[in-house]
Every structure is written in structure tokens, then in C-alpha cells.
């Protein structure tokens, strides 16, 4: 049997989740009349400490709607160089929303406050691009599922708020136009691994997106949380982009089920990732540092062996992916047992030793 470690998106709904979907109370969500969708939106807004939320078909759409609402056409967002928004959303921020991007780079995908301080220009006048949003990813996928240190997030919030006060007299939070978006596709993993409450993370940002279809194991969907006015506008733009949906409650019910039942168990995924990392590092310590495996992502720096390793692992029944030149990713998830995690790690370890 194949063990699929390409991504945590490959999970399929459990029997209990399917039962919740089948019994969902639904209505037309374009009319705002789907009880399950409304319940999901309210639940996520509350968990993240925001006024309102919007259920979307994907995390890319949730991020796009957030950035679009924070950054006027032709102005910029800043993010880390390996962020999903700039690497994996196929240029939508530029191609669809008219947003330009500059990046900073950090080996663990963290915030580099001093570099951001020097890059950020909230009010650049008519000659230069003005910075309007900073996007932070937590956990940071392509940096290896790393957790953003809470102190860094607080320092960034403070920097943005102080810049706001300088730029607009009497302006409040984010008033100068530099606002913070959290790409929290795996915020659940950060929360479980760090013990920081979701609401503490959520309230440091103006907008937050979370995925239901990754570690939580729902088949489809993300949620964008923010202020009531911003979410109302995002709802209009969702429809404008053709992504308004009708009886989406069958999907929302899966998300609600996942939130109630699949958050705490993410600790198992983290244990399985740590085990995979240990077994592989024992075989070939040159390909990873086990200290760097913080959540459910294991990155192997295998150089020119990457394509060979992915192909040979596939022959042995283990699926993995290449996420950057020379970098192979193994991801743990709901559909992976500890026994299969061990078996997959032993297969990869044996190949690396050969
Ligand atoms: C998966 C992911 C998203 C959203 O992806 P979709 O496939 O569009 O749902 C956003 N950010 C990060 C970090 C992700 O891993």
C-alpha cells in the first residue's frame, strides 16, 4: 500500500466527518442563508478573536481576498521569500489583484524586523510604491513547518502600529495603511505545538486565513477572518470572482467537525514527523537537522539526489515531493498511522544509505 507524504492535503474525510456532512442543515449561501456556513464563520471568527469571517473554497482565495482588501492596486505587500503567497498562488496577487511584492529572506521563514523596518514605506508619495501590507505565514510551509516566535509577531505589530501613528496623526491601529495579514493555513499546527491560544495569534493581525483542508482533514475550504466591513467587502469580491456558492453547508459541516475533533490530534502528526526525522538523521545526518522539525513538515536537503530519491521512494511505495531545488518534503497528516510513518522513514533512510 502506498504511503502518501506529499502533503497534508491528501487526507480524505473520515466516516464521522461524512456523517456530519450528510446531516448538515443547508441553505443558499449566496443569500447568506446557509446555517452550517454561518455557524462555521461565527465559530472561526470567535476562535481567532475577529468580528466576522468568510468561508472560501481555498486558502489561495482567502489570502487573495485579504491582500486585495488591504493593498490598493499598484501598491505593495511584503513577505518572506518562500511564503506561499509569493511562491504557490501562481502570481494571483499581481495577475488578479494588481499587487506588487517585495520579500525578505530568513533561513527559518521568520520575521526579520530590522530588514522590514528598512523596507517598509507606508507613505512613499507619488514616486515610489507604498507598502500597505505585510504577510506572515505561521507555520511556514516551505521553511519547514516552522513556528513564528510570538515575541517576533508582537514586535512586528508594534512596529506597524508606531509607523501608523507617525504617518497619520491621530490614526489608530494600522491607520497609515500598513496592515498585517496572517497566512494561517497551518495556524492550528502552530497553536498545538506552541501552546499559544489561536486568539492570541489571531488578534495580532488585521486579517487571518486558516485552512480546513490541510491538517484538519476537511475535504475543501478555508476561512478568512477580519473586521465586519472588510469581510462584507470580501464577500462581494468572492462572488465577483465567481466563487459564491450555494448549499456549501455540506462542506462547512466538515470544517466544523474538523475544528471540534481534529485540532488536538495534530500533536500526533508532529510526533510522527519527529520520528521520521530521527530515523532519517540516524541514517544520513547530512540531510537534516532534527531540531528544525517543529510541526508536521520534514525537509530533506539532498542536493542532486532529489529527483532520484523521490522516484526510488515511489517505487518502494512512499510518495514525497520536491519543494525547491534539492529539497524533498515529507508531510505527516490525519491519514498516516505511526506504523506507516516509521515504515516510510525506514524506506527513505535505507535509500539514503545506499
Ligand atoms: C495550502 C496553503 C495555502 C492555501 O492553499 P490552497 O491550496 O489554495 O487551499 C495557503 N498558505 C499556505 C502556507 C499553504 O500551505
Name the residue of 185, 215, 255 whose CB sits within 8 Å of the most ligand 1 atoms, as the mutation to test its pocket: 185
The per-residue pLDDT for 309 is 98
Candidates 41, 38, 50; CA nearest to 199 is 50
Name the residue of 7, 8, 58, 209 whose CB sits within 8 Å of the most ligand 1 atoms, as the mutation to test its pocket: 58
Q: Around 38, how many Cα atoms within 13 Å sit in the side-chain half-sphere?
A: 11
Other beta carbons less than 10 A from residue 12's beta carbon: 10
By residue count, the chain amounts to 354
CB proximity list for 272: less than 8 A, separation 6 or greater? 296, 332, 336, 338, 341
Looking from the CA of residue 213, the nearest atom of ligand 1 is: 9
- What the block records as the C-alpha cell of 79 is 513577505
Candidates 268, 71, 28, 252; CA nearest to 178 is 71
Q: How far is Cα 138 from Cα 188, in angstroms, rounded to an integer? A: 9
The per-residue pLDDT for 175 is 45
d(CA 2, ligand 1 centre) in Å: 24
End-to-end CA distance of the chain: 23
d(CA 21, ligand 1 centre) in Å: 23
- What the block records as the C-alpha cell of 312 is 526510488
β-pairing verdict for 321-324 and 131-137: unpaired
Tell me the residue ranges of DSSP E strands in 205-316: 207-211, 222-226, 297-301
Q: How far is Cα 334 from Cα 140, in angstroms, rounded to an integer? A: 19
d(CA 60, ligand 1 centre) in Å: 6
The per-residue pLDDT for 263 is 98
* Mean pLDDT value across the chain: 96
**Cis peptide bond prior to 139, omega within 30° of 0:** yes
Name the residue of 7, 211, 216, 255 whose CB sits within 8 Å of the most ligand 1 atoms, as the mutation to test its pocket: 211
The per-residue pLDDT for 167 is 56
**335 in Cβ contact with 11 (< 8 Å):** yes
**Global pTM?**
0.96
Quick one: how far is CA 190 from the chain centroid?
10
d(CA 84, ligand 1 centre) in Å: 7
CB proximity list for 159: less than 8 A, separation 6 or greater? 113, 116, 117, 120
Tell me the residue ranges of DSSP E strands in the chain: 3-4, 52-56, 76-80, 100-104, 131-137, 179-184, 207-211, 222-226, 297-301, 318-319, 321-324, 327-331
The protein residue with its alpha carbon nearest to ligand 1, atom 14, reads 185
Q: What is the pLDDT along the chain (354 residues), one digit of tens a residue?
A: 899 999 999 999 999 999 999 999 999 999 999 999 999 999 999 999 999 999 999 999 999 999 999 999 999 999 999 999 999 999 999 999 999 999 999 999 999 999 999 999 998 888 999 999 999 999 999 999 999 999 999 999 999 999 866 655 443 444 457 999 999 999 999 999 999 999 999 999 999 999 999 999 999 999 999 999 999 999 999 999 999 999 999 999 999 999 999 999 999 999 999 999 999 999 999 999 999 999 999 999 999 999 999 999 999 999 999 999 999 999 999 999 999 999 999 999 999 999
Q: How far is Cα 195 from Cα 187, in angstroms, rounded to an integer? A: 11
The per-residue pLDDT for 177 is 77
Rounded to whole angstroms, what are the CA distances from 74 to 88, 129, 161, 179, 209?
Answer: 21, 7, 23, 16, 23
Q: Residues enclosing ligand 1, CB less than 6 A?
A: 58-60, 63, 84, 137, 141, 183, 185, 211, 213-214, 222
- In the three-class reduction of DSSP (H, G, I as helix; E, B as strand; rest coil), residue 86 is classed as helix
Phi, psi of 145 (to 5 degrees): 70, 30
Amino acid at each position: 500500500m502506498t504511503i502518501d507524504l506529499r502533503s497534508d492535503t491528501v487526507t480524505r474525510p473520515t466516516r464521522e466527518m461524512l456523517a456530519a456532512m450528510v446531516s448538515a442543515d443547508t441553505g443558499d449561501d449566496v443569500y447568506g442563508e446557509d446555517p452550517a456556513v454561518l455557524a462555521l464563520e461565527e465559530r472561526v471568527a470567535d476562535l481567532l478573536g475577529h468580528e466576522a469571517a468568510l468561508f472560501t473554497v481555498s486558502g489561495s482565495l482567502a489570502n487573495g481576498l485579504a491582500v486585495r482588501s488591504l493593498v490598493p492596486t499598484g501598491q505593495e505587500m511584503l513577505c518572506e521569500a518562500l511564503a506561499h503567497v509569493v511562491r504557490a498562488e501562481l502570481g494571483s496577487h499581481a495577475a488578479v489583484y494588481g499587487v506588487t511584492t517585495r520579500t525578505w529572506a530568513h533561513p527559518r521563514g521568520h520575521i526579520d524586523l530590522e530588514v522590514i523596518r528598512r523596507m517598509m514605506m507606508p507613505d512613499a508619495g507619488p514616486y515610489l510604491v507604498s507598502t500597505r501590507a505585510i504577510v506572515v505565514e505561521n507555520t511556514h510551509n516551505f521553511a519547514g513547518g516552522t513556528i513564528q516566535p510570538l515575541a517576533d509577531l508582537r514586535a512586528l505589530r508594534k512596529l506597524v502600529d508606531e509607523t501608523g501613528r507617525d504617518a497619520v496623526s491621530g490614526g489608530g491601529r494600522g491607520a497609515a495603511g500598513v496592515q498585517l495579514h496572517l497566512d494561517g493555513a497551518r495556524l492550528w499546527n502552530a497553536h498545538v505545538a506552541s501552546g499559544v491560544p489561536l486568539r492570541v495569534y489571531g488578534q495580532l493581525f488585521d486579517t487571518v486565513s486558516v485552512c480546513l483542508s490541510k491538517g484538519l482533514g476537511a475535504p475543501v475550504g478555508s476561512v478568512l477572518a477580519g473586521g465586519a466591513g472588510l469581510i462584507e467587502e470580501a464577500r462581494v469580491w468572492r462572488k465577483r470572482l465567481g466563487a459564491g456558492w450555494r448549499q456549501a453547508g455540506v462542506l462547512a459541516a466538515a470544517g466544523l467537525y474538523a475544528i471540534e475533533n481534529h485540532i488536538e490530534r495534530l500533536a500526533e502528526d508532529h510526533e510522527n514527523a519527529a520520528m521520521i526525522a530521527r530515523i532519517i538523521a540516524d541514517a544520513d545526518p547530512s540531510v537534516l537537522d532534527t531540531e528544525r522539525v517543529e510541526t508536521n513538515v520534514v525537509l530533506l536537503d539532498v542536493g542532486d539526489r532529489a529527483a532520484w530519491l523521490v522516484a526510488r521512494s515511489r517505487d518502494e511505495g512512499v510518495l514525497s515531493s520536491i519543494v525547491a531545488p534539492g529539497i524533498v518534503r515529507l508531510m505527516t497528516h490525519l491519514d498516516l498511522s505511526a506504523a506507516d510513518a516509521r515504515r516510510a522513514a525506514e524506506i527513505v533512510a535505507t535509500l539514503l544509505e545506499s
